[in-house]
Chains A and B, each alone.
Chain A
Amino acid sequence: MLPRPFTYHRPTSLDEAVTLMARHVDDVSPYAGGTELLLAMKMHFADYEHLVDLKRISELRAVKRNGGTLSIGALATHAAIAADAAIQGSLPALAGLCGSIANARVRAAGTIGGNLCFAEPRADPPVLLAALDAQLCLISARGERHVAASQFITGALETVRAPDEILLRIDIPLTARSTRYERVVHGHRTVAGAAAVIAQDAHAAPRVWLGCVATHPVALPNAEAHVAANPGVLDNALTQAIASDIARLDIADDEDASADYRRHLATTVAIRAITATVEQEERA
C-alpha cells in the first residue's frame, strides 16, 4: 500500500503544465486531489514515471458565471462546489450532489475534474453533467478542444482524453428550469443514479440520463420522448418507457447487485428524478 517512486512536477502556470504533459507524454499522469490516482498507485494498479500536479494553477479552480453559462474549473473540489454560492443559486442539484458524495475528506481533496477523468463507472457527477449538456474544455500543446460531457466517457475508466490533455473546465449552460439527480447508495458505492433535466425553453427536449449502472452514463431516449410528449404526466407508460430503455442496457451481476435488482433500482431512480422535476415544475 505504498506508491512506487515517481518524479513529481508542480507547475504554477497552465503553459508550464501543458509543456510538462507534452514532454513526458509517454508516462505521465495529471494529478489533482489524488483521491483516485494515489489509491490506484498505492494498490499498484497504476504506475507513472511522472505526475504533474495541477493544484497550484489557481485559474483551474475558478468558478465563474458568464451570462447563461456556469464555468467550473476542473480543479474545483467537491467541497468547494457544494459551498459555492453561485452554484448553490444556479444549480442546486449539482451543489447538493457534490456536498453528499463520498466523505468529508474526499470532498475536501477530490475534484470534479478528477472525478470525470477517472471515469469510474459508479461516479455520480458525470451523469448529471451529461444530462445538463455540459461542455468540457481540454487543453494540450495542440490547443484547446471542447467535448460534450455526454461524449467524454466511453467506458469503464475510459475517456476520450488524450494522454497529454488536461481538463480545464466544465461549461454548463444554465438553460434548465428543473434539475434533479437521484441515486441509491449502498455502503460506499452508488448502485444507480439518474438525472432529469427540464429546459426553460418549452421546445427543447427534456434530458434523462442514467449512470452507475452500466460501464458509463447513458441517455434514456424513450423516457425522454415520453416526458417530452407528456409533460408533467407520471403514469405507467412512463415506467414502461424507462424500463424499455433499461432493458437495452448491458447490465451484469456484480458484488453490489444482481442485474435484475439493478435494473429495478435504475428504473426507480429514473422515476424519482423525473417525478422530482415534475414537482419542481408544479411549484414554479
Chain B
Amino acid sequence: MTKPATDTNAARADLLEKVTGRAVYASDISVPGMAHGRILRSAVPHARIARLDDAAASALDGVVSVLTGEDLPTLAHDRWGLFLNDRPVIAGEKVRYVGEPLALVVAETPEIAEAALDLIDVDYEHLPFVDDATAALAPDAPLLHERHESIADFYFKGQAKPVDGTNIFQNYGVSTGDVDAAERDAAHVFEQTYTFPGISHFAIEPHSVVAAFDGGRLTVWSGAQSPTAVQKVLSRVFGLALSDIRIIVPFVGGGFGGKASVKIEPLVVAAARKAGRPVRVALTLEESMLTCRRLGASITLRTSLDRDGKILAKRGTILLDGGAYADTGPAVAVKAAHCVIGPYDIANLEIEAKAVYTNTVPGAAFRSIGGPQAVWATESQMDEIAEAMSIDPVDLRHRNLLPRGGEILDSLRALDADIGEMLGQAGQAIASLGGGSAAGIAVAATDPGILPLGGSLVRVLADGSITVMSNSVDIGQGVRAVLRAVVAKTLNQDVGSIRVADPDTATAPFDWGTGASRSTVIMGLAVEDAAQDASDQILELAASIFDGAPNDLRLVPGGVARGEDVLSFEDLYHRAFGIDSGEVVGRAMVTPARKGSDFAKSPLFWETAVGTCDVELDEMTGELAVTRYVGVADIGHAINPAGAEGQEEGASVQGIGHALYEQLDYREGQPVNATPVAYRVPAAADVPQHAHTVLIENGDGPGPMGAKGMGEGGILPVAPAIGNALARRYGVRIRDLPMTPERIWRALRERDHDAS
C-alpha cells in the first residue's frame, strides 16, 4: 500500500514547522504582561563583591526590579547543584568567573533593561584567581569554594567525591590487576600527555527562559533538555511543590548538553518572583558562551606492551578543568575514566580522574561527556605506539580489541558490538571514496550514563488520532519522529495520525532527561510500552463487543478488526462507553526493573564508533583540511535512518571543530575569544568534500526494534583520526588540541629542524 502524500508530510510534521518558520522555540515565547531581563556579569575572575549599587538602575523609568545577591536570603535555598550544592542563584558574596551573573535588571523593554545595566556600580575586592586546572591543584592555589557539599543520588546515582580544603570536586578511580608488575614485565612502556581545551557548545539558539508565577504556581518555558531536573531544582530553591511547577519545553535550537541539567532557570525564576511579573530572559550567544562549556582535560597515559604489541597495562591520570561550578562535571570524570581505557582487552588498569574548580566558565555535559577528551588521548597514543613499534596502526588495534561480549571492566556490561568488523567497514568505505587508503583511524566505545527512568502516555482518541505525551525534548535529534514511528508500529496506525506533544511536566510523566543518547532507548521503550498498554486495553474493549477473545483481534489503521470485520475507534468507544467519545490511555513507566529488559548492569548499551580520514596540509601556513571522512557506528537499528545519518554527520563535523579550531581561551582569567566572532566553529567550507556514514544495524540494542542510542559516539574518533592522519602523512604529531595552523606550523618547523 502506498501512503497518501499527506501521511509523509505528517510524519515529518516538526520538520515542516521548522522549514516554514512556524516552529516555536523558547526564545519565541511571549506571555501577557511579560517584562524583560538583562544580566550584569562579573568583569573579573575572582573577587569579593565589596559594593553593588543599583539605586540609579532601579530608579530608571521603566525598570521593574533589580535582582542581586541581596535577594538570596528570600529564597528557600540560595544555592543549588546536581552533584554539589555549589552554585548561588545569583552571585552573593563573591564572583568566581568572568561572566558570572551579578545582577538581573527587569524592565518594560529589553532596551531599558540594557540601559539600566550601565547604571549599576560594582566595587570588587579582587581575590587571587586560577584559570588553569594544573595550577588549581597546587597546595597554595586560591580556593573557589571554601566548603564542599556533595549531594548523593539527587539526580544522578551516586555521589561526587570532593576533597576538603582543595579545588578538587571529584576524584574517581579504576583499579584492576597489578599494573606495577605488568610494567616490570613489559617490553615497551610509553608515556605521553595529551591536552584538550574547554569548548563552547555554540548551540545556535542561545539559552532563553520565560518564567511566570500565577499565585503560588510557577510556569517556566525553557529550552531545557531535562525538564524534570529543572522542576526539581526549582522546587528546592523556591520551596514549591513539584506539582506547582510546570516546565514547558518548546522546540530547542540545539543543545548538545549545554541545555542539560539546569542552567539559568533558577535565576530567571528568582527575577520573576521579585518583579511580580512574568519575565523573559533571552541570552545572546555570547552570554551563552559564558554560561557553560565542555570540560578541558589534561591526560597522561602510561601504556605497557609486550614484544608482540599486546597491551599489558595502562595507567591514566586525567585532570579535568571543571570551571567555577561543578554542574555535571563529576559524571564527566567518571565517563572519561572509563573511556580512556578504550575497547581493548587490558588486564591491568590504574586510572585516576580528578575534576577541579577553576575561575572559568562552568563546565557542563557536552555530547558524549568526557568521551572526546579520553579518546583523543587513547587513540593518539595507540598510533604513537604503533609507529614506535613499527606495527600497522590498524593491526595494533586488532591485536588488542575486545571481541563482542568482551569486558572493558567487569563492573560494566560486556561490549555489544564488533569493533573489529567496524574497522574493516571503515577501511572499505573510505577506499570507495577514492584517493586510496585512509591515513588516520581511531576507534571508541563509550558507556552512556543513562538512568532507565522515564514514562509516557499514549492517548488513542475517539477519531483515531493519537497524542503521545512525554518529557523527551526535541533538541534537533528528531526524537519526535522516532517516538511516532514506534507508536505507529506498536499500534499499527498511520504515522500521520500521531502527534507528539511538547514536553510539559504538568501533563507528561517524569523522564530523566534528554542526553547521553538515551531518548531513543528509554523513551522509545516507554512509548512502546504505553502503546502496548493502550493496545491491550483496546483489544480488551473490543473483545467484549465482538464477544470474542482479544487474541482473535488485531489493530488496523483507524480501529480494530476481527477477520474482515473492522470497527473504528469511534464505533468501538461508542459501543463500549455509550457515546461516541472518550479515549484509551496507555501508560508506561520504564524503570530499572522493567520486565524483559536487562537494566541491572550499566551501560544499557555501548556507543561505539570508528572514524577514518585523510587530510591535506598547506605546509607553508599550517592550515589543515580534512579531505575524506568516514564514520562507522553500531546503532542496533535505525528507526529514523535519515535522522540517524544526520546525527552522525553533525557529530563528525563538530568533531572537526574540536580537532582543528575550537578552544575557549583564557589569559589572566579573562576569556579572550568568548564571542561568536572570535570563536571559530566549522562552516560549510570546512566540511570534507567526500564524507560517508556507515550505520551497522544488527537489531541487538535494548531499545524498540533493537535500537541502541546514538548521536554521541560519532564525535569521539574524529580528532584522533585527524591527528593520526596528520602524523602519518606529514610526520608531525600534535598532542594538544586544537590542531591550529600555528601549532602545526611550529611542529613542522621542529620536524624540519630535527631532520637537518
Contact = CB atoms under 8 A, between A and B. Distances in A.
Interface of A: 1-2, 4, 44, 184, 186-188, 255, 257-258, 261, 264-265, 268
Contacts of A258: 742
A268 B680 contact: no
Interface string B716-756: 00000000000000000000000011100110000000000
Nearest to B678: A255
B621 A268 contact: yes
Nearest to A103: B683
B742 A261 contact: yes
A81 to B, nearest CB: 21
Contacts of A184: 621, 623, 741
B677 A268 contact: no
Interface string B107-127: 000110011001000000000
Given A2-B110, A258-B742, 20 more contacts: A1-B284, A2-B114, A4-B115, A44-B118, A184-B623, A186-B680, A186-B740, A186-B741, A187-B661, A187-B679, A188-B677, A255-B665, A255-B672, A255-B678, A257-B742, A261-B745, A261-B746, A265-B621, A268-B620, A268-B621
B581 interface: no
A4 B114 CA distance: 10
Contacts of B110: 2
Nearest to B109: A2
Contacts of A2: 110-111, 114
Interface in B579-624: 620-623
B467 interface: no
A258 B741 CA distance: 11
Contacts of B284: 1
Nearest to B745: A261
B673 interface: yes
Specify the main secondary structure of chain A where it touches its partner.
loop
A186 B683 CA distance: 12
B159 to A, nearest CB: 39
Nearest to B112: A2
A187 B680 contact: yes
A264 B623 CA distance: 13
**Which 3 pairs between the two chains have the least Cβ-Cβ distance?**
A187-B680, A261-B742, A255-B672
Contacts of A186: 623, 680, 740-741
Nearest to B675: A43
Contacts of B746: 261
Nearest to B622: A261
Contact of A188 (B118, B623, B680): B680
Interface in B351-401: none
Contacts of A44: 118
Contacts of B111: 2
Contacts of A257: 742
Contacts of A268: 620-621
Interface string B640-680: 00000000000000000000010001000000110001111
Contacts of A187: 661, 678-680
A182 to B, nearest CB: 11
Contacts of B672: 255
Contacts of B740: 186
A44 B115 CA distance: 10
A44 B110 CA distance: 15
Which of B110, B114, B742 has the largest number of chain A CB atoms within 10 A?
B742
13 contacts: A2-B110, A2-B114, A184-B741, A186-B740, A186-B741, A187-B678, A187-B679, A188-B677, A255-B672, A258-B742, A261-B745, A261-B746, A268-B621
A44 B620 CA distance: 39
A37 to B, nearest CB: 16
Given A1-B284, A255-B665, A255-B673, A264 B745 contact: yes
A268 B745 CA distance: 12
A232 B665 CA distance: 44
Nearest to A44: B118
Contacts of A4: 115
A136 to B, nearest CB: 28
A183 to B, nearest CB: 10
Nearest to A269: B621
Nearest to B621: A184
Contacts of B115: 4
Nearest to B285: A1
A1 to B, nearest CB: 6
B672 to A, nearest CB: 5
Nearest to B284: A1
A255 B665 CA distance: 9
Interface string B331-352: 0000000000000000000000
A257 B745 CA distance: 11
Contacts of B742: 257-258, 261
A78 B109 CA distance: 35
Contacts of A1: 114, 284
Contacts of B673: 255
Interface string B619-646: 0111100000000000000000000000
Contacts of A261: 622, 742, 745-746
Contacts of B677: 188
Nearest to B741: A186
A102 B627 CA distance: 24
B479 to A, nearest CB: 32
B337 to A, nearest CB: 33
A2 B114 CA distance: 8
B549 to A, nearest CB: 66
Nearest to B676: A188
A187 B673 CA distance: 12
A255 B661 CA distance: 13
Contacts of A188: 677-678, 680
A37 B622 CA distance: 34
Interface string B82-112: 0000000000000000000000000000110
B287 to A, nearest CB: 10
A264 B749 CA distance: 11
A175 B695 CA distance: 59
A268 B619 CA distance: 11
B402 to A, nearest CB: 40
B740 to A, nearest CB: 8
Nearest to A262: B742
A188 B623 CA distance: 15
A264 B742 CA distance: 10
Contacts of B665: 255
A268 B118 CA distance: 45
A268 B623 CA distance: 13
Interface string B227-270: 00000000000000000000000000000000000000000000
A264 B748 CA distance: 13
Nearest to A267: B620
Nearest to B623: A184
Most buried by A among B620, B672, B677: B620
A78 B115 CA distance: 34
Contacts of B745: 261, 264
Contacts of A265: 621
B208 to A, nearest CB: 14
A44 B117 CA distance: 12
A268 B115 CA distance: 47
Nearest to B115: A4
B361 to A, nearest CB: 17
B13 to A, nearest CB: 31
A56 to B, nearest CB: 27
B401 to A, nearest CB: 38
Nearest to B681: A187
Interface centre among A2, A4, A268 (most CB of B within 10 A): A2
A122 to B, nearest CB: 11
A252 to B, nearest CB: 13
A44 B284 CA distance: 15
A44 B661 CA distance: 29
A188 B677 CA distance: 7
Contacts of A264: 745
Interface in B10-60: none
